[in-house]
Structure 1
Amino acid sequence: MCTAVSYHTKDHYFGRNLDFECSYGESVTITPRRFLFSLPEGAEFRTKYAMIGMAHVAEGTPLYYDVVNEKGLAMAGLLFAGNAVYQKRQEGKDNIPSWALLPWILGQCETVAEARELLERIAVTDEPFSEALQPSPMHWMLADAAQCLVIEQMADGLHLYDNPIGVLANNPPFPFHRENIRQYLNVTADPAQDRFSGQELLSPFSRGMGGFGLPGDLSSASRFVRAAFVKLNSRSAEGEKESVSQFFHILGAVEQQRGCCYLGEGKYEITIYSSCCNLEKGIYYYKTYDNHSITAVELHKENLDGEELICYPLA
């Protein structure tokens, strides 16, 4: 399970919690311009733009979890089990396997608007990367400094949803989250008032009671609401340090601690890592479950016209 957030101060920030029971050896990975991606049936594409993000590198290919390109377009994939239904190859469509969707879009698009045009003619296919790496059921959040979009490939087709909230979690589909959040219209960051009597007969016994009713469990529906509330009410100075710090506090409101979500057989879901990227500056920040120090990798300090991937193992 995961949560993704798009957030603005002076600059625009995008990131996510990756919640899972184990790591797959991911690293902060930079893909240079004109990097070749090989696809099924002998197809291939080269990236136009360089990108940085968290990826598992298999056979020299970055399988990105979340990524931002040099133009400030960002994308993250979140688990969508039970609802994601990928397609078979279709004549007349751009057939892109799910594992290649992130670099395919970010490798050639500068904005959400450009990506939307490409997505109108795409078939997200069920072709695996390899026998050992079968497709994961995902949906995606795509954002730039002006727009945010949710992408869901389901049995009845590809759905694109504008996302003014700038938050995404897991199941159910995005329209459920947009409807469900309406139950919390009365939740507020302001001090609680006596609406019960309308006569100021009652007074709050604690600070923060305006947020009474905000869900606190770890379900995706509750994480969506809580992340949205914290993000939409967040205040920070506009400097880089203050903005990044505040972003990680937003993600901290929905992080998962070992022991609270038991999966059986001695396994627990935890927040493997949290990420935050400044889309204007191309700086990718992250921290892990066992290391809360924030580490940064800067895209524009690397050779973006090289031929090889640049990988930084997690600190």
Structure 2
Amino acid sequence: MCTSIIFSPKDHYFGRNLDLELSFGQQVVITPRNYDFKFRKMPEIKSHYAMVGVSLVAENYPLYFDAANEKGLGMAGLNYPGNADYKDFNPEKNNVSPFEFIPWVLCQCATVAEAKDLLANINLVDINFSEQMTLSTLHWLLADKTGSSIVVESDKDGLHIYDNPVGVLTNNPQFPKQLFNLNNYSDVSAKMPENLFSSEVSFDGYSRGLGSRNLPGGADSESRFVRATFNKFNAPKTDNEQENVDTYFHILHSVEQQRGVDQVGPDKFEYTIYSDGTNLETGVFYYTTYTNKRINKVDMNHEDLDSEKLICYPMLDQITFNEQN
């Protein structure tokens, strides 16, 4: 399970929570402009936009969970089990495997509008990275620094590209159903509730926060979709980078999963391995991990973005304490 958002105060911040029961040794990976991207069925791309995000690197190839490029386009893949359906090779289409989908788009597109044009002829083809590393069942959120976002879902009945007016994505069900479900929470508010029950009955506002009392609190994807959307649209916005980044992570952490509450097998529990976000205007990447809530920062502009080699940083996940006395 995962949650991805775009948060748009002064600048635009795009990223996600990665929720799984085990870690894959992921790193912060910067792909510079001249890294030679090879694709299974498409021509290689030797020169492209630089990008930064979280990735597993296998055979010197970045398998991005999420990333954003230097032009301000971000993309994240989220679990979509039971619905994701990848296709056979189609000679009339651009055949891209899901494991190479994020770099294929971020290499070439600077905006959501450009991505829509590129995706008009795409076929997400069923090709595994290797026999040991098979494809994950995914759908994707894309967003840019205009605040626009779309969802891409490859279902049994074909490829669907949806405009996303809320800039949030979790997992199942299909995105239109998630969006429709928000109708059930139209009365939720950050304000104290008005008495609409009856003018003949008086109520005691016994607690602050009663307007949000009916927000769903579960770890399931529908609950997280509603909660993340509500928290995002009610979050404060300032002109201060540090305050906005802090608020962004509060939104993601409000739907994070702690170990022990989402059992997926015997003694196995899904949890939020990391939360991350990129300032799409500046290319600065931020992240926290389950055991390190300090906001860590990687600025791809400090690297040689014209090089040919991947630049990798381990994710800092040590538990630390500020000793004040």
Shorter-chain TM-score tier: over 0.9
> Match for 2:171: what amino acid?
N
1:200 CA displacement = 6.8
1:199 CA displacement = 5.3
Superposition pairs of residues 231-242 of structure 1, within 5 angstroms: 231-242=232-243
Report what 1:191 is aligned to.
192
Give the ranges of 4+ consecutive aligned residues of structure 1 lying more than 3 Å apart after TM superposition: none
1:182 CA displacement = 0.5
CA deviations over 1:119-142 (Å, ceiling 9, x no partner): 010101110111111110000000
Report what 2:68 is aligned to.
68
> Match for 2:223: what amino acid?
S
Report what 1:261 is aligned to.
262
Report what 1:247 is aligned to.
248
Report what 1:270 is aligned to.
271
The secondary structure found in structure 1 opposite 2:237 is coil
Q: Partners of 2:107 and 2:137 in 1: how far apart?
A: 22
CA deviations over 1:24-57 (Å, ceiling 9, x no partner): 0000000011322222258423351000000000
Q: Partners of 1:177 and 1:185 in 2: how far apart?
A: 14
Report what 1:92 is aligned to.
92
Q: Partners of 2:173 and 2:236 in 1: how far apart?
A: 29
Q: Partners of 1:129 and 1:286 in 2: how far apart?
A: 27
**Structure 2-normalised TM-score?**
0.95
Superposition pairs of residues 17-36 of structure 1, within 5 angstroms: 17-36=17-36
* CA RMSD across the alignment: 1.1
Gaps of 5+ in 1: none
Report if the CA contact (8 A) 2:42-2:95 is conserved. no
1:198 CA displacement = 3.3
Q: Partners of 1:184 and 1:40 in 2: how far apart?
A: 44
Report if the CA contact (8 A) 1:169-1:224 is conserved. yes
Report what 2:158 is aligned to.
157
Q: Partners of 1:198 and 1:190 in 2: how far apart?
A: 20
The secondary structure found in structure 2 opposite 1:285 is strand
CA deviations over 1:59-99 (Å, ceiling 9, x no partner): 00000011000000000000001000011110121110000
Superposition pairs of residues 164-179 of structure 1, within 5 angstroms: 164-179=165-180
Q: Partners of 1:127 and 1:47 in 2: how far apart?
A: 24
Report what 1:226 is aligned to.
227
> Match for 2:246: what amino acid?
S
Q: Partners of 1:250 and 1:311 in 2: how far apart?
A: 27
> Match for 1:113: what amino acid?
A
> Match for 2:153: what amino acid?
E
> Match for 1:302: what amino acid?
E
Percentage identity across paired residues of the two chains = 49
Q: Partners of 2:240 and 2:208 in 1: how far apart?
A: 28
CA deviations over 1:251-295 (Å, ceiling 9, x no partner): 111000000011122111000000011010101100100111111
> Match for 1:284: what amino acid?
F
Report what 1:7 is aligned to.
7
Report what 2:110 is aligned to.
110
1:238 CA displacement = 2.1
Report what 1:289 is aligned to.
290
Aligned residues: 315
Q: Partners of 1:213 and 1:204 in 2: how far apart?
A: 15
> Match for 1:27: what amino acid?
Q
Q: Partners of 1:243 and 1:8 in 2: how far apart?
A: 9
CA deviations over 1:206-246 (Å, ceiling 9, x no partner): 00000121000110000000000000111132211000000
Q: Partners of 1:95 and 1:237 in 2: how far apart?
A: 43
The secondary structure found in structure 2 opposite 1:3 is strand
> Match for 1:198: what amino acid?
S
> Match for 2:245: what amino acid?
V
Report what 2:142 is aligned to.
142
Report if the CA contact (8 A) 2:10-2:237 is conserved. no
The secondary structure found in structure 2 opposite 1:151 is strand
Q: Partners of 1:276 and 1:41 in 2: how far apart?
A: 31
The secondary structure found in structure 1 opposite 2:108 is coil
